[in-house]
């Protein structure tokens, strides 16, 4: 009885590496104790092969090539009996058409392709905002390279220096945003070097040093928060209302932008007309449960955060505030201008301001828990900010 052929990909069948430290990936066809092997055109280093999964690590392109090769062999086996009116035997692979016997040409692995592959592999381990930022960096590299993939060999000191200038002048990015871009590129260059795709010694970031600027935490005064709360929007700028409300919600709850944009109806729990929220913080992975009805209470009913969340309640499971982070930061700055606030503030200013307000009214350990600070020293920073605000306020008093 002739059994069906069984296929599998195998790495380094001969048990030895060439002078470059690589070995072939083959496809083994097994039938009734006999075996036949087919080249895939892939040569890898042992570190690139996943023995448990029997596939190439973090390389969907190569794994797709292996699967395509397997499917071609299976299709030939399946159609052979129909054409020849007999069972298929392993030796019948000798009749394999030349187009299938030819080894496929491997696509060249570039830095940007490598970045996309690795980012996609890491997707389940990183928050959505980080995933989006990493993808944006890879796309920005391609844009700078005249819409072409960036080769590993292209990553010279001059290329990185030119890219830095491009971000600063054409894109008008701030220094800390540029610094983060370089961090991401360097991360994947180092990883590619460790995996043998490029010579780690040629990494331009050994010489190119992007500096991070120290920034002062911007905080709003209570009067400025009130101006934002009291804003009314005309028909032409009504679209800004949701961004104002997102900012205020972050101020009332200390939630980060990555959490505000993730809030869904299932995160909200109501008991006796009082709302609580339970959400896993995107940055820390910790569960954050907040009694919304106790935060920024009012004299005439629901608390301020409760009112906002009820206003944007949904019947489906989509985010209540389904807005991108860049657009949110862009539009909250317009909201600040409408409120007459001229400070270099961002959406994160809401969290800074909220913590600064609470340290004036609650014991530090409670504020630490609400802010989800792992170290009390981080919370202490806001005590100093609070004291500075008091000093600034006293300086503005006209005593005589």
Residue-range domain boundaries for the chain? 6-101, 111-206, 222-395
CATH of span 111-206: 1.10.150
Query: What is the DSSP annotation of 46-84?
Result: GGGEETTTTEETT-HHHHHHHHHHHHHHHHHHHHHHHHH
* pLDDT tens digit sequence for 324-374: 888 999 999 999 999 999 998 999 999 999 998 888 888 888 888 888 888
Show the beta-strand stretches assigned E in 74-197: none
CA atoms within 13 A on the CB side of 82: 5
Please tell me the CATH superfamily of domain 222-395, with its number. Answer: Intergrase catalytic core (1.10.443.10)
* pLDDT tens digit sequence for 278-336: 999 888 888 999 999 999 999 888 999 999 999 999 999 999 999 988 899 999 999 99
Task: Mark 259-285 as b/e (b = at least 16 C-beta within 10 Å).
Answer: bbbbbeeebbeeeeeebbbebebbeee
The whole-chain average pLDDT of the chain stands at 88
* pLDDT tens digit sequence for 93-111: 888 876 555 544 556 789 9
The C-alpha torsion from 365 through 368 and 373 to 375, rounded to 10°, is: -30
Which phi and psi (to 5°) does residue 197 adopt? Answer: -85, -20
Q: How far apart are CA 71 and CA 138, in angstroms?
A: 32
């Amino acid at each position: 009885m002739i059994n069906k052929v069984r296929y599998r990909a195998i790495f380094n069948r001969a048990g030895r590496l060439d002078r470059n430290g690589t070995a072939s990936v083959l496809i083994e066809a097994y039938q009734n104790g006999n075996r036949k092997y087919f080249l895939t055109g892939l040569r890898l280093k042992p570190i690139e092969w996943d023995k448990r999964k029997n596939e190439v690590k973090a390389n969907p392109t190569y794994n797709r090539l292996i699967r395509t090769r397997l499917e071609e062999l299976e299709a030939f086996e399946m159609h052979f009996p129909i054409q020849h009116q007999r069972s298929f035997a392993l030796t019948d692979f000798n009749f394999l058409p030349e187009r299938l016997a030819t080894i496929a040409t491997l696509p060249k692995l570039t830095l940007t392709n490598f970045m996309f592959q690795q980012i996609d592999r890491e997707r389940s381990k990183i928050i959505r905002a980080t995933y989006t930022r990493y993808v944006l960096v890879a796309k920005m590299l391609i844009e700078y390279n005249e819409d072409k993939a960036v080769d590993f060999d292209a990553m010279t000191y001059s290329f990185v220096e030119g890219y830095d200038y491009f971000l600063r002048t054409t894109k008008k990015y701030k220094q800390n945003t540029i610094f983060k871009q370089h961090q991401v590129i360097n991360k994947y260059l180092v990883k590619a070097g460790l995996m043998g795709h490029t010579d780690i010694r040629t990494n331009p970031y050994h010489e190119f040093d992007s500096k991070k600027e120290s920034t002062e935490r911007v905080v709003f005064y209570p009067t400025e928060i009130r101006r934002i709360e009291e804003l009314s929007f005309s028909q032409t700028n009504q679209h800004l209302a949701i961004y104002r409300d997102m900012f205020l919600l972050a101020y009332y709850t200390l939630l980060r932008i990555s959490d505000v944009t993730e809030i869904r109806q299932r995160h909200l729990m109501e008991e006796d007309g009082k709302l609580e929220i339970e959400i896993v913080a995107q940055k820390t992975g910790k569960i954050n449960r907040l009694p919304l009805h106790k935060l920024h209470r009012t004299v005439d009913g629901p608390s301020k955060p409760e009112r906002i969340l009820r206003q944007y309640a949904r019947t489906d499971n989509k985010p209540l505030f389904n807005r991108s982070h860049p657009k949110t930061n862009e539009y909250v700055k317009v909201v600040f201008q409408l409120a007459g606030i001229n400070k270099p503030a961002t959406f994160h200013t809401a969290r800074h301001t909220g913590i600064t307000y609470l340290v004036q009214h609650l014991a530090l350990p409670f504020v630490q828990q609400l802010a989800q600070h792992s170290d009390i020293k981080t919370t202490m920073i806001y005590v100093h900010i609070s004291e500075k605000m008091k000093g600034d306020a006293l300086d503005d008093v006209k005593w005589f």
